[in-house]
Chain A
């Protein structure tokens, strides 16, 4: 049973527009959520995180939103740039174990 789900395998967005990537989770014990970006032949790179005590966290062009009641988080990238084209993974962790469970990823393509 997959605890972290990314239901959109791919997404295409025009350069300069907003990219919205979505993630759902099922385990109510998760209290920390993260987004990663991955280029081919490289390890995933940490982008941004959010604690369950918050509902929004911003870092430059990246904003993560958390809706605990819906068990849903999203990553907004504004404005999108061609260099943002990559696979994006969401991940969740609980304070007790610090184990990170990842979703299956969404491939973002930003069109110039």
Chain B
């Protein structure tokens, strides 16, 4: 257990509505990530954070924003949900198993359906 909790685990929302997904960690790690998983595309990085209020875009950031006001929480917001954002979303933390380069450890995922 990497000490990561994603909420909600499942959500159905309507096109055009805002949606916020929450990632909470209990281990005080600096790096946090949001990915989406889609068939044929694997895992694609949406945004990541390297500290409180420090965030950067990933591979597929259009239509998404993030916030990190405290170390333990990393929020992903879909400003106006579209059907193309139907996906499984994974949060991850960067944690080093050997004291060197950190590895990504993932939460259980949030299945989001936009109808």
Contacts and interface: CB of A to CB of B under 8 A. Distances in A.
A101 B45 contact: yes
B56 interface: yes
Residues of B contacting A: mostly? strand
Contacts, number: 63
A46 B45 contact: no
Contacts of A6: 42
Interface residues of A, number: 25
A5 to B, nearest CB: 10
Interface residues of B toward A: which range? 20 to 34
A45 B103 CA distance: 10
Contacts of B105: 46
Interface string A83-110: 0000001010101011111111100000
A102 B103 contact: no
B104 A89 contact: no
25 contacts: A34-B103, A34-B104, A41-B109, A43-B90, A43-B108, A43-B109, A44-B43, A46-B97, A46-B103, A46-B104, A46-B105, A49-B103, A89-B42, A89-B43, A93-B101, A95-B101, A98-B94, A99-B33, A99-B48, A99-B56, A102-B43, A102-B44, A102-B45, A105-B42, A105-B43
Interface of A: 6, 32, 34, 36, 41-46, 49, 51, 89, 91, 93, 95, 97-105
